[in-house]
Amino acid sequence: MTRTTITKLILTLLGGIFLFSTTFSKSVHAEENNESTQILKELYLSISEDYKAFWDDVDYYVEIDENNIPSLNIKEFIAHHTSDTAYDFAFQMHSISVDIKNNGLQNTVDKMNRWLFPIGAYGNYCGKGNKGWNKKPIDDLDSACREHDKCFKGFFKNNDKCNRDFIRKLLPIIQANPGTKKGIYAMAAAKLFSFNM
């Protein structure tokens, strides 16, 4: 498996962990829950068959800490998944969880520093913070991230509508760009921000 393929798989699976584990464990209003469930179904249907088995299995290794922040039980995950892909995924998942734990209570819209590991940012607005409001989005994904930055109040605050709208904008991007960095990043973002739906 090439490094590019591994990176694609990592991003795809990263999206899977956050999205499915949150929506079904969080109690929300019936109408909002139905809308969120429909978005999740559409997202799942957009994943290629090659990734679905891994996507489904990852949820068994996710733990939620006392602050409701998800993390991957790396030891257990690696014990049952010995491939390079699994190792790379575990590392990326751990990096994201640590970042959320360290910065999750702060308003990410106001952050100007970007998360600098290779798959942590995309364009001018996707990733932690943004590169400044005077930048033009590079494409539809970056534009969706900019709109999300405008309404996002920080992790575990009232972002239900903001995040549902964001994920709805990500669905056609995911469907039109399977296996690409853009499509996989969109899946990871959808999974991450589903924790506030």
The whole-number pLDDT of residue 28 equals 41
Residue recorded with tokens 């751990």: 94
pTM beyond 0.85: no
**Closest C-alpha to 62, from 11, 15, 17:** 17
Task: Write out the residue range of the structural domain in which residue 86 sits.
Answer: 3-196
pLDDT digits 0-9 by tens, 59-107: 788 787 777 767 778 888 778 876 665 666 666 667 666 666 776 544 3
pLDDT mean over 133-146: 92
Is the Cβ–Cβ distance between 104 and 96 less than 8 Å?
no
Phi, psi for residue 133 in degrees, rounded to 5: -70, -10
What local confidence, expressed as pLDDT, does residue 20 receive? Answer: 43
According to the model, what pLDDT value does residue 83 have?
65
Q: How many domains does the chain have?
A: 1
